[in-house]
Amino acid sequence: MVSFSNIAEEARLAALSIADYASDMVDPTVRLGVTGLSRAGKTVFITSLVHNLTKGGRLPLFSAHAGGRIASATLSPQPDDAVPRFEYETHLAALTGGGRPETRHWPDSTRHISELRVALNFESETFLGRNLGRGRLNLDIVDYPGEWLLDLSLLDLDYTQWSAKAVALSRMAARAKLADPFHAVLKTLDADAPEDETQAREAAATFTGYLRAAREERYALSALPPGRFLMPGDLEGSPALTFAPLDIAADARAKRGSLHAMMARRYEAYRNTVVRPFFRDHFARLDRQIVLVDLLQALNAGPSAVSDLETALADILSAFRPGRNSWLSRILARRVDRIVFAATKADHLHHANHDRLEVLLGHIAGRAIKQADFAGAATDVVALASVRATREATVTRGGEALDCIVGVPEKGQKVGRETYDGKTEVALFPGDLPDDPRAVLADPEHALSAPEGISEKEWEAFRFLRFRPPLLDGAPDAILPHIRLDRALEFLLADRLA
Amino acid sequence: MTRKPAAFRLDDPGVMLDGDTAPKKAKTAPKERARVTHDATLDEPLSPDETNTALVPAPPPVKSGFPWGKTLAAALSAFVSISFGLWATQIVEDLFARAEWLGWLASGLLGVAVLALVAFVLKETFGILRLSRITDLRETADRAAAADDMAAAKRIVARVTSLYASDATTAQGRAALAEHDGEIIDGRDRLKLAERHLLNLKDAEARALVTGAAKRVAGVTAISPRAAVDIVYVLFESVRLIRRLATLYGGRPSGLGTVRLARMVIGHLALTGGVAMTDSIVQQLVGHGLAAKLSARLGEGVVNGLMTARIGLAALSVVRPLPYLSGRPPALSDIMSELTKFGSAAKKE
């Protein structure tokens, strides 16, 4: 349905796009969308990317960098004055320990939106580029809580649709137990009863509780909109966050002054004041996109998490506009013409398993990839580690050679009878990923169950082992190691630096 | 998930750690190897339709009955060797009969001759072995790149590096490549990296060699008084070009090696001729036409130059140890533009 508000929104987007196009003529800019659900590793990715670019890290496959054509890469003032700056220095200090390596840790989860611009001065490879081009490219990157991304799937749903979907989802087997308190409250609510603030609060609170529980690492479910319920930012307690789905039919009509009407009004407010501006300001104008997916966590948490992730990815990515840019679309409606799907934390597996990881991601993000391909965007699938926390080694046990990863597990992590102290290095053989990705999706229960001779509990301990960031040896200006960051960069930026 | 996961303390005495970041040879059973991509892996021979033009497949064997020709040659050469042996022994014996010092001198000379023969044969054999090693490298690399096989690519890069271990011009590239040894890089990407570090300089030089030879041939043809002279010169220049290209990329062609190389080049030309025709015949005709308007000899020169260039390009794809992965191989049109530059320069003179 094409409503007036949609047309207005489109017009606004076109206006922004024209403005961007004009500013690009003077100051060429690539807006890199780092897309990922919470804990996918967006902050670490951005930090490592900026660190490797500005400090001249090891990026052999990023041709402009390897060929010495990038003269300088520096942080420069961001274009939007209203958005906080990405605290690059703080995050980097967290990862390296900032002079005290024993305090190194992964950055805390992101609570607010922030932005950063990297200015690249480069020499063009082509005659025209050298003589007519600017030789400069700004790379704009936005970091935000991954939870908020889930909201993009709400853009196309009105309250009754969303409500029906959310309630149905909460009654699915994997979630029903977590949603018990919410269901209890839901039963007491009457959509046609007059509006009541206390009831609305209670419903919103239990609904939020259910979403929080589902997000726990143990379940690692992904499709949990609305995102601000999980990470409210500065909206904590405002009416726009005090709503919940009701048990109503998808075509139900709201009576004036009823609970239903109040919820619907708040939902609309949420969409209009929170989701739309967020999308408009940060996603509608992207040029390139990298979708970070923590596939291992989903695999670890089990089949329901995997299928949930698949749904969430497809939902989110349908909000974007992939496709090839024509001269007109470049001005009026910018499209994302290159997308990398990256399975992050690849350093938790031996490289012999990386191919399988990539194939698996290709299947799970299959719908989104097909959509993008069909629209004419170029896509790539990569197993990536923004910061490589482990090294590889072969351990021989009883004549059998095992491809292991060696790293320092975080303090308090347990495997079997051992509890690690956060200092000792451990060689871990993480097991093999399933050979055939289709087996995981078709028969997840079987493909992801513990192998014979190992208890379910022990199995879990292995899978959830977390490593600390790498100890950078020696020099204070040592650069964060990574896996395939350069390949992703090459795919995303090479043509703009040619 | 067949194998159990396990965690080891590094100081556990029961654990042997092969502790470097660079993984050793894949010790996993073939079943375990990441064969998720449904591409050809190294241990499966390629089916004929998968070979692309960068490869030089052996011509199909001609069916024949009993090899009478070979028997004849073998019998004859055996006969000749025996008679040579007899003749040599007789001479030495005769010389000993005349004067002892003459006999010693003759046996000494014979000994040196035999030594030289052995050395020559060895050198030829090594040259040919090296050539087939390069061919094998390229074919394996082609397959590894198609399958994006990490372990195979690593082995190939090590082989290419050792091929150039004694070539000082690649020192910088080898050092740069060695830096990335321990890193996790996909098969195809690693090969591209090796291509960039080891072969980029050589590629530029090779192009200069081909262009130079083509120009010389064009020049000589344009001023030569007799057609026979051009033919001889084209032959000479082509053989020299092939040998220089092979030396540049690490082959060590000598007599037999060059013959073999020339056969491979001609085989390649014959194979790709059909393809090359379509993109170059027009240019050749047009080029000839324009140049011929100015001077008939000049037109012939351009055509001869282009022919040499084609031989050079064919030789390139035979002697290069890696297939062209990151860029496109040099095409006739690239050389053509250089040649016509020469044409216009010649016109001015």
User: What residues in B contact A459, CB-CB < 8 Å?
Assistant: 5
All residues at 6 or more sequence positions from A118 whose CB lies less than 8 Å from its CB, including other chains = A50, A53, A54, A73, A74, A75, A76, A138, A139, A141
Range of weakest confidence among A370-379, A411-420, A486-495, B126-135: A411-420
- Where is B8: in which H helix or E strand? strand B6-9
What is the reported pLDDT for B52? 41
**What is the overall mean pLDDT for chain B?**
76
How many domains does chain A fold into?
Answer: 3
Q: Which residue has the higher pLDDT, B108 or A232?
A: B108
DSSP notation for B209-278: HHHHHHHHHHHHHHH-SSHHHHHHHHHHHHHHHHHHHHHHTT----HHHHHHHHHHHHHHHHHHHHHHHH
Nearest CB to A426 within list B7, B21, B186: B7
CA A493 to chain centre: 20
What is the structure's pLDDT at A173? 75
Confidence (pLDDT) at B127: 84
User: Phi and psi (nearest 5°) for B96?
Assistant: -60, -40
b/e per residue, A415-442, with b = 16+ CB within 10 A? beeeebeeeebbbbbbbbbbbebeebbe
Of the residues A274, A306, A333, the one at which a domain ends: A274
Amino acid identity, residue B24? K
- A428 and B185: CB-CB below 8 Å? no
Which residue has 């690239």 as its token pair? B334
* Ramachandran assignment for A408, one of left (phi > 0), alpha (psi -120 to 50 degrees), beta (any other): beta
Of residues A192 and A443, more confidence is placed in A192
Q: Which of A182, A137, A126 is nearest to A493 (CA)?
A: A137
Place of tokens 């990515």: A317
Q: What is the CA radius of gyration of chain B?
A: 27
Q: Is residue A216 part of a domain?
A: yes
Residue B25: the pLDDT is 33
Q: Which residues of B touch A424 (CB under 8 A)?
A: 9-10
- Please, are residues A440 and A301 in contact by the beta-carbon 8 Å criterion? no
- Yes or no: say if B36 and A434 are a contact pair by the CB < 8 Å rule: no
pLDDT(A244) > 70: yes
Residue A160 shares a structural domain with residue A135: no
Q: Are residues A313 and A332 in the same domain?
A: yes
On whether the CB atoms of residues B12 and A445 are closer than 8 A, the answer is no
CB contact under 8 A, A393 and B2: no
Q: Which of A250, A274, A298 is the last residue of a domain?
A: A274
Pairing of strands A426-429, A400-407: antiparallel
Average pLDDT over residues A95-124: 85
Cα A104 to chain centroid distance, Å, stands at 23
Q: Are residues A138 and A155 in the same domain?
A: no
Mean pLDDT of chain A: 81
pLDDT at position A445 = 55
Q: What is the DSSP letter of B198?
A: I
pLDDT score recorded for residue B3: 64
Domain that holds residue A169: 150-274
User: Which band of pLDDT confidence, cut at 50, 70 and 90, is reported for residue B49?
Assistant: very low
For residue A279, tell me if it sits in a domain. no
B213 or B59, which is more confident? B213
CA distance A199 to A262: 11
Residue count of chain A, please give it: 498
> Do A235 and A332 share a domain, yes or no?
no
Q: How far apart are CA A438 and CA A444, in angstroms?
A: 9
Residues A491 and A382: their CA atoms lie apart, in Å, by 10
Whether A74 maps to a domain, the answer reads yes
One domain, residues A489 and A372 = yes
Considering the domain boundaries, does residue A31 fall inside one? yes
Gyration radius of chain A's alpha carbons: 24
Please state which of the ranges A139-143, A329-333, A364-368, B193-197 shows the lowest mean pLDDT: A329-333
**Strand A378-383, strand A391-397: pairing:** unpaired
A474 in a domain, yes or no?
A: no
Residues A167 and A207 in one domain: yes
CB contact under 8 A, A353 and B183: no
Q: How many CB atoms are closer than 10 A to CB A3?
A: 8
- The upper half-sphere exposure of residue A253, i.e. CA atoms within 13 Å in the direction of its Cβ, equals 2
CB < 8 Å to B192, chain A? 61
Q: What is the pLDDT of residue A458?
A: 60
How close does chain B come to A441, measured CA to CA in Å? 15
Using CA atoms, how far residue A307 sits from A295, A444, A447, in Å, is 11, 9, 14
User: For the segment A62-77, what is each residue's pLDDT rounded down to a tens digit?
Assistant: 888 888 888 889 998 8
- SS3 at position B2: coil
A178 contacts: CB under 8 Å, gap ≥ 6? A210, A213, A214, A219
Q: What is the pLDDT of residue A117?
A: 92
Integer Cα distance of A139 and A142 in angstroms: 10
Give the model's pLDDT for residue A308. 81
Q: What is the pLDDT of residues A283-309, one digit of tens each?
A: 887 888 898 998 888 877 777 778 888
**Interface contact flag, B10 A437, Cβ < 8 Å:** no
Q: Do B5 and A355 touch (CB under 8 A)?
A: no
Q: Would you say residue A139 lies in a domain?
A: yes
Q: What is the pLDDT, as a whole number, of residue A363?
A: 87
| pLDDT tens column, B285-307 | 555 556 566 666 777 777 788 88
Domain boundary residue, one of A220, A242, A274 = A274
**Residues A293, A36: contact at Cβ < 8 Å?**
yes
The residue among B118 and A472 whose pLDDT is bigger is: B118
* pLDDT for position B48: 39
Rounded to the nearest angstrom, the minimum Cα separation between A41 and chain B is 19
Q: Which two tokens stand for residue A391?
A: 């090294």
**Residue in A114, A45, A2 with CA at minimum distance from that of residue A347:** A45
Exposed, middle or buried by CB within 10 Å (0-12, 13-18, 19+), for A328?
exposed
In angstroms, the separation between the Cα of residue A173 and the nearest Cα of chain B is: 25
Alpha-carbon distance of B6 to A427, in angstroms, equals 8
Alpha carbon distance B165, B170 (integer Å): 8
Instruction: Give the CB-side neighbour count of residue A111, counting CA atoms within 13 A.
Output: 6
Residue A200 in contact with residue A269, Cβ under 8 Å?
no
Check: complex ipTM more than 0.85 = no
What count of CB pairs under 8 Å joins A to B? 140
Q: What is the DSSP letter of B169?
A: G
Asked whether residue A51 falls in the same domain as residue A178, the answer is: no
Q: Which of A428, A434, A437 comes nearest B7 by C-beta?
A: A428
Written as one letter, the residue type at A462 is F
Q: CA A283, CA A35: separation in Å to the nearest integer?
A: 9
For the cut 60, the answer to whether the pLDDT of residue B282 exceeds it is no
More confident call, A473 vs A347: A347
Among the listed residues A316, A35, A436, A250, the one whose alpha carbon sits nearest the alpha carbon of residue B35: A436
A255 lies in the same domain as A161: yes
Partnered with residue A402 across adjacent β-strands are A395
Q: Give the per-residue pLDDT at A223.
A: 72
- Determine the pLDDT at residue A41: 87
Mean pLDDT of B163-191: 86
Contacts of A111 (CB under 8 A, 6+ apart): A145, A231, A233
- Chain A residues whose CB is inside 8 A of the B34 CB are 352-356
Lowest-pLDDT choice from A210-214, A336-340, A456-460 = A456-460
A262 and A327 assigned to the same domain: no
In terms of domains, do A178 and A255 share one?
A: yes
The CB density around residue B105, as the number of other CB atoms within 10 Å, is 13
Q: Would you call B102 helix, strand, or coil by DSSP?
A: helix
Q: Are residues A330 and A450 in the same domain?
A: no
8 Å CB contact of A396 and B15: yes
Q: What is the pLDDT of residues A77-108, one digit of tens each?
A: 888 888 889 989 999 888 888 777 778 888 88
Are B185 and A434 inside 8 Å of each other by CB?
Answer: no
Separation CA B298–CA B280 (nearest Å) = 18
Q: Across the interface, do A394 and B18 touch by the CB < 8 Å criterion?
A: yes
For A9-61, write each residue's pLDDT tens digit.
778 778 877 877 777 777 888 889 888 887 888 899 999 999 999 988 888 88
pLDDT at A297 (0 to 100): 81
Is there a contact between A211 and A303 (Cβ–Cβ < 8 Å)? no
Cross-chain residue pair B8–A453, CB shorter than 8 Å: no
DSSP B6: E
Q: Quickly count: other Cβ atoms within 10 Å of residue B275's Cβ.
A: 10
In order of A452, A490, B11, B124, B140, the CA distances from B146 in angstroms are 36, 20, 41, 33, 10
> In DSSP terms, which residues pair with A338 in a beta bridge?
A288, A378
Considering only CB atoms, which chain B residues are within 8 Å of A397? Answer: 6, 8, 14-15
Q: What percentage of chain A has pLDDT greater than the value 70?
A: 90
Query: Tokens 């169950």 identify what position?
Result: A449
Q: Do residue A395 and residue B16 have CB atoms under 8 angstroms apart?
A: yes
Of A496, A461, A395, which Cα lies nearest the Cα of A133?
A: A496
Is B4 in Cβ contact with A454 (below 8 Å)?
yes
Does a structural domain hold residue A373? yes
Residues A138 and A154 in one domain: no
- Please enumerate residues of B whose Cβ is less than 8 A from a Cβ of A: 1-10, 14-24, 26-28, 32-37, 148, 150-151, 179-180, 182-186, 189, 192-193, 196
Residues B284/B102, Cβ–Cβ less than 8 Å = no
Measure CB to CB from residue B19 to each of A393, A415, A431 and give the nearest one: A393
Question: Residue B87's pLDDT band (boundaries 50, 70, 90)?
Answer: very high
Q: How far apart are CA B146 and CA A243, in angstroms?
A: 54
- For the stretch A311-322, pLDDT in tens is 888 888 877 777
Distance from the Cα of B135 to chain A's closest Cα (Å) equals 26
In 3-state terms, what secondary structure has residue B9? strand
Q: Is A424 on the interface with B (CB under 8 A)?
A: yes
Chain A closest-CA separation from residue B154 CA (Å) = 13
B230 or A462, which is more confident: B230
pLDDT of residue B284: 56
* CB contacts, 8 Å: B23 with chain A: 350-352, 392, 394, 403
| Residue A75 sits at the chain B interface (C-beta within 8 Å) | no
N residues, chain B: 349
**H/E segment holding residue B17:** strand B16-18
Residue A446 has what pLDDT? 53
Residue B154 has a CB neighbour count (10 Å cut-off) of: 21
Which of A65, A351, A460 to probe the B interface (max B CBs under 10 A)?
Answer: A351
Distance separating alpha carbons of residues B53 and B111, to the nearest angstrom: 47
Measured distance CA(A163)–CA(A168) in Å, rounded: 8
Question: A345 lies in a domain?
Answer: yes
State the nearest Cα–Cα gap between A143 and chain B, in angstroms. 27
Report the pLDDT value the prediction gives residue B64, as an integer from 0 to 100.
64
CB contact under 8 A, A424 and B20: no
